[in-house]
Amino acid sequence: MTTLSEALAQAPNPLIASASPDVGGEGVWLDLDTVHLEARHELMVGLDRARRGYPQFLVLLGDSGIGKSHLLTWLSKQDHAAAQGLLVLVRMPPLPDLAQPFRHALRQLLAALCRKEVSAVPSDQAVAFERPIDRLVWEILYTQACDLLDASRVGSYQGPAVLLKMLGPLCLDAGKRRNLAEFAEDAQKVWPQLEPGLRSYLLSLPTENSIDTAARGVLLQYPYTDRRALCTGWLAGEDLSPKDRDKLSAKQVINNESAAKYVLCSLLRTLVALPGLQLGVLYDQAEQQLERLGLP
């Protein structure tokens, strides 16, 4: 005769179809997709609108233990392939220091962008852009190179003839813009020759703050493979040595909230301006932060 315990042990798990690996790779995360249907629908509608180029701001409220964090985890697991391009969802943990929200957000954003997510990258670009940060920086450099070329053609910027001669075949093929991966592969081979001219053009553009100029200079160092870790470290506000900063030609450091705010806003503006690349920032445990701030 089979006991109740034995029968339950042999019975199929009704949640097994909804089980998926945990975000951090530890344990198993279980989901029952019939829970909080209305909230799931609104989150997906907001995500779809963001994918179509309309920034969204959604607030998820509810009693403690009702499943808000669970829904955010579910949202972060949605199929990235459904997005047109690349979708980056950044999970923001609670602030360790209420006096430094921008530095905290900047570090978390860079950590998410530097995380390898091959499944989220289009198959034809998986080799060239293993991380979101790779595509982001190359998109910026490609866009600026094309803008320089256009500005020179209409006479609004006097670029060196040698630079324009190099940029032409790098950016265009029979009058049409080349594939980003192809541009990155070919431009990286001749970057020492391209960098000075592109730097001159970027420094001629309007800036909001002197830290913007430093950030542009750091981005120009990214194509050098031996400097990429330093570039991302500087952008994340890490305390680099003077020698490493000299290698990046960056005298300034992101060591305060004001500098972090400018760099963070600059990166966010770049993200939302790039076609096919969407960013979602998921702030969790907001009620605990409000309690610490003494707000209702």
pLDDT-based confidence at 58, cuts 50/70/90? confident
More confident position, 125 or 160: 160
Is the pLDDT confidence value at 201 over 80?
A: yes
pLDDT-based confidence at 120, cuts 50/70/90? very low
Phi-psi region of 160 (alpha: psi -120 to 50; beta: other; left: phi over 0): beta
pLDDT for the residue numbered 112: 84
Say which residue the tokens 């209409």 belong to: 154
Inter-helix orientation angle 161-171/132-154, to 10°: 130
pTM, to two decimals: 0.71
pLDDT for the residue numbered 268: 78
Say which residue the tokens 């978390």 belong to: 108
Write out pLDDT tens, residues 8-43.
455 544 333 333 344 444 445 677 777 788 888 888
Q: Which residues contact 159 (CB under 8 A, 6 or more apart)?
A: 148, 149, 151, 152, 197, 201
The dihedral built from the CA positions of residue 247, 251, 257 and 259, taken in this order, carries a sign that is negative
User: Could you give the CA distance from residue 212 to residue 175 in angstroms, rounded to a whole number?
Assistant: 32
Q: Measuring CA to CA, which residue among 105, 110, 101 is closest to residue 231?
A: 110
Q: Which of 23-37, 61-75, 207-221, 225-239 has maximum average pLDDT?
A: 225-239
User: Could you give the CA distance from residue 67 to residue 238 in angstroms, rounded to a whole number?
Assistant: 34
Is the pLDDT confidence value at 149 over 70?
A: yes
